[in-house]
Amino acid sequence: MGKPTGFLEYDRVTSTAEEPEQRIKHFNEFHKHLPKEEQQKQGARCMECGVPFCQAGMTIAGMTSGCPLNNLVPEWNDLVYTGNWERAYNRLKKTNNFPEFTSRVCPALCENACTCGLYGDPVATKENEYAIIEYAYENGFAAAKPPKVRTGKTVAVVGSGPSGLAVADQLNKRGHSVTVFERSDRVGGLLMYGIPNMKLEKHIIERKVNIMKEEGITFVTNADIGKDIKSKKLLDEFDRVVLCCGSSNPRDINATGRDAKGIYFAVDFLKGVTKSLLDSDLADNTFVPVKGKDVVIIGGGDTGNDCVGTSIRLGAKSVTQIEMMPKAPDKRAENNPWPEWPKICKTDYGQEEAIARFGHDPRIYESTVKEFVKDKNGNLMAVKIVKLAWEKDAESGRMVMKEVAGSEKTLNAQIVLIAAGFLGTQKYVADAFKVELDARTNVKTQPDKFKTNVDRVFTAGDMHTGQSLVVKAIRQGRDCAREVDESLMGYSQL
């Protein structure tokens, strides 16, 4: 440990965000990061405590505490402090294939489990990670490193989201020949079209994908397996197939008037905007037209927030976000102690921008949609919502949410974006490979395993676990790659 008293001497300092009124004028990342010297001080704040919860990735009270990748956080924090950036990069890459992604979009489970945060501010680990990977690119440490020996084995990966890319990266390093099939026109899956540009600029993805191509991975886009390309073709041509198609069935809202024109799933809305931005800088007008309209977003979480920020950038007249759950407390409750994940209210970038733009928080809590109101032409014109309250169900004895009589309210709305989560695997992919699904429509395997009921077919990521985090998808991909490698070689060095 280079600086035993660093956490006492230096305050937590992180990147500064562009003011909301300025950043809503563009779709670029909007944080100004620290100079290298200041970032090294942030590395000095790491206590190298006896039990580093930051890298544990444990499940405590049903929630993940610490990094699911088991990143060697205290080691590379110390290496940042001492200015040994190349070694810091090497330690970081031992556990994380894509720090250029996680340092931008991960909710920093490591920081929420940081011992330094028990009585003070946690170490700025996420920003240290960003500094390491960007320094590595600038100085050539992150250049392509193709495997020196090939095994002669072939693997098809279906889906190029974080889990699919992690599977491909790991198996390619082992020397297997990997081909990744992506149904969209660009590689990246959720990273490319599910996360807005202002959180993850797409040239960052392309930068890494180009390196993976140099290392020998083949990418095939516009290839919808199960539709355009038969599953049999992959099973005939490859030794193993790994399904990493995500949890891409959006949950619908079945309320009166659902057939109104102007209701869209959030994932389709976000994809349309990003594709138009990349194709034509929005000149082609192929995205949902929200300019000058009242937008209602159903659902909280990251996707709902992303819809808020995107709608504001597109010139929405107003933005309202409906959430079923009550507002979380602003500080940890006594029954939610460290190092559990903190169940506290988070005001994200989109909500910050709504407050700056419209003068109030866009969220309405403990509410749900009761009716979509249409005009005579079938166009959406308003949304009727109703308040919800927790009550004990007389039959089951469980607490359930029920409507509060007389609490109905009507909101102007010409556009509704449904961001209510996802329900699991798309059926046509599962049917194409004849893989079994569990009760939640995720692809079924033995506990903590990745092989499906179909010989030579494996699965990983959200398709296996249901909707989750990018960092967990990467971990799934890494673990799956090891199992695939063992099935090919009889042992694994991964």
The CATH number for 473's domain is: 3.50.50.60
CATH number at residue 50: 1.10.1060.10
**Peptide bond between residue 339 and the one before it cis (omega within 30 degrees of 0):** yes
- Chosen domain end from 418, 433, 466: 418
Residue range(s) defining the domain that contains residue 312: 263-418
Q: How do residues 238-292 score in pLDDT, each as one tens digit?
A: 999 999 999 989 999 999 999 999 999 999 999 999 999 999 999 999 999 999 9
> For 44-64, what is each residue's pLDDT tens digit?
999 878 899 999 999 999 999
- If asked whether residues 268 and 414 sit together in one domain, one would say yes
Specify if 398 maps to a domain.
yes
Shared domain for 228 and 277, answered yes or no, is: no
294-298 and 318-322 beta bridge pairing: parallel
- Residue linked to tokens 């110390």: 78
Q: How many CB atoms lie within 10 A of CB 30?
A: 18
pLDDT per residue as tens digits for the range 369-423: 999 999 999 999 999 999 999 898 888 888 888 999 999 999 999 999 999 999 8
Q: How many distinct structural domains can be found in the chain?
A: 3
Say how far apart CA 204 and CA 28 lie, in whole Å. 12
Picking from 26-30, 99-103, 206-210, 398-402, which range would have the lowest pLDDT averaged per residue?
398-402
Co-location of 303 and 399 in the same domain = yes
Same domain, 434 and 414: no
Provide mean pLDDT across the span 312-330: 97
- The single-letter code of the amino acid at 253 is I
Residue 467 resides in a domain? yes
Give yes or no: residues 18 and 79 share one domain.
yes
Q: Which of 20, 143, 160, 134 lies closest to 80 in space, CA to CA? A: 134
pLDDT in tens, 420-436: 999 889 999 999 999 99
Whether residue 414 sits in one domain with residue 286: yes
Q: Does residue 148 sit within a domain?
A: no
Q: How far apart are the first and last CA of the chain?
A: 29
pTM (whole model) above 0.75: yes
The pLDDT > 70 percentage for the chain reads 100
